[in-house]
Amino acid sequence: MACSAGVGENDRVFARGTTSEHVQTVTIQQALRFGGIVLPPSAKVLGARDENGQDQLYVLAIVLEPDEIDVLLSDSGFTARLRAGERVFMQPVEGFELGSGTDVASGDDRLPAGRERAHGVNRTVLVDRSDPTAPVVHLWLFTT
């Protein structure tokens, strides 16, 4: 999996005993594994957030080449069709506003529990093509 740790200062996830740069990379990789996400080569992670309590939530913002959106969805096994104009009412990674996108589509699916994960994972995706040369994919990956 290709990924860049282009995460903003406010979106870093810190853990005891490690450097913030190491935790950024580990958290992004954990989020990708957790959600079964396979990034295409051009993908760059713009931000990530992790919330862990009774449930687990990972939020990612990823920019990629316009022709790689379908690759990301297909390689990640997304079963849902994206609905044009559908907005998501979840908090994105800090620094992004979902209400400002002029060309958006979203969808939801569920990744079942299996050998790689003890619990099923709900996956919500929103694709913002407001800048057609650099679309941003927002992902919310959570247990309930």
| Domain map (residue ranges) of the chain | 9-142
- pTM over 0.85? The answer is no
What are the backbone angles phi and psi of residue 141, rounded to the nearest 5°?
A: -120, 120
pLDDT score of 52: 84
Higher pLDDT, 103 or 10: 103
| Inter-residue contact 87 to 115 (CB < 8 Å) | no
Token pair of 117, please? Answer: 């994960």
Among all chains, which residue has been given the structure tokens 């990789």?
Answer: 29
The predicted pLDDT at position 119 comes to 87
Q: What percentage of residues in the chain have a pLDDT greater than 90?
A: 60
Average pLDDT over residues 94-112: 88
Closest to 47 (Cα-Cα) out of 1, 3, 101, 6: 6
- As a whole number of angstroms, the distance between CA 95 and CA 60 comes to 12
Tokens 């990823």 map to which residue? 62
User: Two tokens at 82?
Assistant: 């994206």
User: Region 118-143: what's the mean pLDDT?
Assistant: 94
User: Which pLDDT score, from 0 to 100, does residue 135 have?
Assistant: 95
Tokens representing 125 are 């995706």
